[in-house]
Amino acid sequence: MITLRDYQTDCVNHSIDYITDNYTGKKPELIVAPCGSGKSVIIAETVRRAKEPVIVLHPSRELVIQNRNIYDSLQEDLKGTVFSASCNEKVISEATFATLASIKKVVEKVKQIGAKTLLIDEPHYKFPTASSDSVLTTFVDECGFKNVLGYTATPYCLHNFDLYNESYTRKERSWINKILSNKGHGGVPFFKNIRHAVQPSDINEKYWARLIYQQRDEEVKKLNRKVGYKIVCDLVKAAYIKCERLIREGERKHILVFCATIKDCKRLVEMLNQEHEGVAGYVSCNMQKEERIEVINKFKSGALRIIVSVNILSIGFDYSEIDCIVLTTYTHSLARYVQQVGRGVRPHPNKKDCLILDVCFNTPMYGPIEHFTVKPHEQDGWALFNSKRKLTENFCN
């Protein structure tokens, strides 16, 4: 039986208060909880305490299965069901864990069970905005949901920006990241307010592993070369240098690397395996799910010491023994940065801390995620801060 932490209970209480409020004109809202805070537990307990039919949407099959299993561990009587083609199961019940692509096709079945509450896990990933004809908005309207709550660690998304411009200043980078519930972040916000936010400072010392940040060193800087007016670095080679050193030193046992492209992932793995046979593997969205699962299981068992991906492992990959994360791509997305670094926050008896090796300049630009806070802002509604520095902007207020 899972015992909820105090801040998890607070999140559940805010969720139930929202669900049981019967005022007219209720709008979708967000519950914000940091990486490693146990959002799956918060969602599962909310479903259990709702005492009514609930549909829970997820961005991936892995999260569907994870949340259903946690719900089942909390609930002795009524077990949850899965409605997702990718999970090879399509059953609707009082507690249905689903993917939108599958359940949107059975609106009448959802209405038949009387579901009025929709919970959305990691809504920043696929549902930051919603036009009147979007798939999510259409599904919500057709099913007649009265309560819509999202749960995320990163309630912000990218605005319009130049993908290939790596020279944004710190201020310009803050301009292109917008809070989901605010106007002016690239479309009409689907979520209208943040109902409750747990801050990293609330859980860091007690529930997170210690994070140690390291920037590129002189060895990596030697890879810099001038192309026109730009200084360019071979980031894959930089990652190889860092990983090869980690392998030789032997202290870090489970190393997660994020690259810019699948091509970069393949190249890095080939370079590492040429020097240390069978030490690394990669996963990508182009793989069959069975193949991805096989690589991930090898990593978890220790057969692979290094696993590499673009972004597929940044959400829902909750493996607590990860003790090193290597960032090898510039990112303008605060959400991606937080989610990637957040893979290392979970504590485990086999690790004393998690080393964050940043061969780019993401950490100096955004800062340690332990210092992030999401709080009300007089002009913007809500804003993200690192200590006193504001990281998000909202032009339309």
pLDDT in tens, 258-303: 999 999 999 999 999 999 999 999 999 899 988 999 999 999 999 9
Cα gap 15→21, rounded to integer Å: 10
For 220-230, what is the mean pLDDT? 54
What residues does 232 pair with on adjacent strands?
225
Q: Is 199's pLDDT higher than 90?
A: yes
Vertex 39: Cα angle to 38 and 42 (nearest 5): 95
User: What pLDDT sits at residue 78?
Assistant: 81
Instruction: Write down the mean pLDDT value for the chain.
Output: 85
Please determine, for residue 196, whether its predicted confidence score (pLDDT) is greater than 90.
Answer: yes
For each of the domains in the chain, give its residue range(s) and CATH number, in order of start. Answer: 6-153 (3.40.50.300), 206-371 (3.40.50.300)
Phi/psi at 134 (5° precision): -70, 160
Return the pLDDT at 215: 80
Q: For position 127, what pLDDT does the model report?
A: 62
d(C-alpha 158, C-alpha 168), whole Å: 14
C-beta separation of 391 from 177 below 8 A? yes
| SS3 state of residue 156 | strand
Residue 29 has pLDDT above 60, yes or no: yes
Q: What is the pLDDT of residue 184?
A: 47
pLDDT at 233: 60
Instruction: Please state, in angstroms and rounded to a whole number, the distance separating the CA atoms of residues 44 and 33.
Output: 14
Euclidean distance between CA atoms 385 and 387, whole angstroms: 6
Q: How confident is the model at residue 335 (pLDDT cuts 50, 70, 90)?
A: confident
Is residue 256 over pLDDT 60? yes
